[in-house]
């Protein structure tokens, strides 16, 4: 670029003025750097579970999963089954991946019945002997019918069993759907209920632990609480 000489004006000063003008012109050019992104802009809102479906647990089949176990309500009472878990999923694709039977859609939630034991579990009367359930110290796990803990309605509770303790007893641990409280039932070597871990804190210690037979199931009651424990879960093979 040619710099025209202005009489009486130093050449060096003219060069400085031209350079400053070019710098100012560049200030309006668009930046090539991308604009900063809001880290939460692409996050999906949490799924809102409807009040019509009592959900419990922190994910199914594992913690953090999108699907959740579903308890008893007018919408689900006809779908509860001792041999399967009633599960709700936010989408049909997530429900299909569970490999169960799709039942219906309620308020945007796809209900699916997932068999508790699609394959024989050692220690559940399959002739394979007792073996620990992976990741636990239980001989077997299942969902059992339960009701009445602190006024809770009849539902299905997760349960685990420890058979053949040193004294010949069998311990059945039942977790309530609130994810906090549980009850331990103690059976003798013949499968008869002996007692439970009642306590004063929840008021259960004032009740007698009773058991009665209904077919091949022992029904244990502790005041308003009720638990249905099949023989095969207590005795295994």
Residue 56: pLDDT over 90: no
- Token code pair at residue 17: 């003025």
Q: How far apart are CA 12 and CA 36, in angstroms?
A: 42
Q: Contact, 87 vs 196, CB < 8 A?
A: no
At 185 the three-state DSSP class reads strand
Based on C-alpha coordinates, what's the Rg of the chain? 33
Peptide bond into 61 cis (omega under 30): yes
Q: Which of residues 2 and 156 earns the better pLDDT score?
A: 156
Chain segment 165-198, per-residue pLDDT in tens: 878 899 999 998 777 778 999 999 899 999 999 9
Calculate mean pLDDT across residues 19-35: 51
- Token code pair at residue 19: 């350079």
Q: Which of residues 106 and 58 earns the better pLDDT score?
A: 106
Which pLDDT band, with edges at 50, 70 and 90, does 61 fall under?
confident
Q: Which of residues 119 and 21 earns the better pLDDT score?
A: 21
Name all contacts of 5-9 with Cβ < 8 Å and 24+ positions apart. none
């Amino acid at each position: 670029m040619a710099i025209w000489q202005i009489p009486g004006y130093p050449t060096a000063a003219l060069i400085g003025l031209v350079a400053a003008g070019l710098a100012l012109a560049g200030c309006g050019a668009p930046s090539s750097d991308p604009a900063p992104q809001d880290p939460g802009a692409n996050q999906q809102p949490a799924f809102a579970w409807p009040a019509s479906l009592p959900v419990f647990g922190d994910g199914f089949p594992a913690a953090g999963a999108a699907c959740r176990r579903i308890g008893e309500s007018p919408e689900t009472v006809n779908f509860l089954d001792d041999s399967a878990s009633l599960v709700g999923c936010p989408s049909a694709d997530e429900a299909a991946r569970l490999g169960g039977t799709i039942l219906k859609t309620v308020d945007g939630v796809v209900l699916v019945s997932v068999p508790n034991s699609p394959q024989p579990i050692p220690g559940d009367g399959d002739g394979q002997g007792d073996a620990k359930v992976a990741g636990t110290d239980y001989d077997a796990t299942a969902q059992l019918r339960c009701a009445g803990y602190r006024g809770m309605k009849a539902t299905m509770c997760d349960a685990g069993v420890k058979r053949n303790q040193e004294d010949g007893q069998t311990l059945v641990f039942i977790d309530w759907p609130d994810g906090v409280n549980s009850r331990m039932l103690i059976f003798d070597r013949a499968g008869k209920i002996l007692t439970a871990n009642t306590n004063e804190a929840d008021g259960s210690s004032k009740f007698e632990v009773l058991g009665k037979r209904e077919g091949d199931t022992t029904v244990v009651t502790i005041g308003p609480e009720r638990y249905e424990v099949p023989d095969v879960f207590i005795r295994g093979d």
